[in-house]
Amino acid sequence: MIRRPPRSTPSNSSAASDVYKRQQIARLAGVSQPVVSSVINNSPYNRPSPQTREKILKIIRKYNFQPNLTAQSLKKGKTNSIGVTTGGANFVRVFAHPYMSRIYAGIAAGLENTNYRLVFCHFKQIVTSTDALQLASSRFADGIIYILLSVYLKQFKKDKIVEEYNKLGIPYVIIHSLQQDLGANSIGLDCVYGGMVATEHLIQHGYADQGGIGFVQVNSNIPHINNLFKGYKKALKKHNIKFKAKFVYLAHGFHYSAGEEVVKQILQNKVLPRALLVSGSGLTFTLMKGLKKAGINVPDDIAIVGFDEYPMAEFVEPQITYIEQPAFQKGREATLLLLKLIEAKEKRKKESNLNVYLKPRLIIGKSCGC
């Protein structure tokens, strides 16, 4: 049985208590204390044989020994924690959102076979970006993954978040949906390429000659959607197709009524576009419902390609063709990059800004006419 330390032992010190418990486990297992620490920390050093390791683990389980994480952090100057920012008024809804949940799944995949745990820093008003700095400044994590939704890019820059993280000297990686150097380590997305690939797919169907290819814009201040629009125009220019402003429709959000607004705009024009590239995540489904209600068939009357329509795409009839936002890959790549930066810091190596730009891919369904 693990004995309590005598009163003369500084039991009020969590670090001393932790060391004492490890000594007791080592005594019961008949091994040295460094061997016990190796098993607890899953360290590559002082590793015992599989049989001895199992013996130590049995003792730990029997006496319900819990290592004191605070004591370890103070001793090593390391928390073995990765901080992840989240944002929005509803904490639960953030995790349920398809884009965010796929990023978190990617982060978890990147941490497989490591000793790191995740700490989530949530701020209700996502534009109050400075709240996320508290996790870093309090040193509750060895590194931070900051998820930046591009709609808040202006506020992010205004708050000088990159400069603040650089001052703190803690490794961090920013996940975003832009092909833009933010002056920081980041994982971005080439949405210009995505818009171009999707538009060229519709051009290959011959829709440009059958009435024209339109674009559904969501607001006008969302940078990654503006990049999709650039890709759309770039593809038209490449194939010598005249850009028609009348085929650009504005949705004032991602809700169902926004889809109905776009349908009204389409009908008011009197000339239907033969195909549409829809830039808003989640908007394609509502738009298709609105078109069906108006008696317009997809893809026979209007072919459609959406953006980031996972996971609903394959369950909608017709199955949605869409530009995939590689959210899982973003999370995984960001985690691997952050671990590399943490290791470099521990070895006192300097890393220059590392920017990775992923390319979206076109997932073919039936809404495009394929």
Tokens for 47, please give them.
């590793």
| Neighbour count for residue 253 (Cβ, 10 Å) | 15
Give tens-digit pLDDT for 13-51: 555 666 778 888 889 999 998 888 778 766 666 788 989
Q: How far is Cα 229 from Cα 194, in angstroms, rounded to an integer?
A: 10
Sign of the alpha-carbon torsion through 248, 291, 235, 255: positive
Give tens-digit pLDDT for 287-329: 999 999 999 999 999 999 999 987 778 888 999 999 999 999 9
Per-residue confidence band for 221, with pLDDT thresholds at 50, 70 and 90:
confident
Q: How far is Cα 283 from Cα 256, in angstroms, rounded to an integer?
A: 8
* Distances 291 to 161, 210, 258 between C-alpha atoms, Å: 43, 19, 12
| Percent residues over pLDDT 70 in the chain | 84
On the question of pLDDT at 10 being above 60, the answer is: no
Tokens for 263, please give them.
């349908």
Whether the link from the prior residue into 311 is cis, omega within 30° of 0, is yes
Per-residue confidence band for 5, with pLDDT thresholds at 50, 70 and 90:
very low
Query: Which has the higher per-residue pLDDT, 20 or 75?
Result: 20
pLDDT at 16: 60
Q: What are residue 305's phi and psi, to 5 degrees?
A: -125, 130
On the question of pLDDT at 74 being above 80, the answer is: no
Query: Which has the higher per-residue pLDDT, 65 or 119?
Result: 119
pLDDT at 135: 66
Give tens-digit pLDDT for 234-280: 999 999 999 999 999 999 877 767 888 899 999 998 889 999 999 98
3-class DSSP string for 261-290? HHHHHHHHHCCCCCEEEECCCCHHHHHHHH
Query: Which has the higher per-residue pLDDT, 188 or 71?
Result: 188
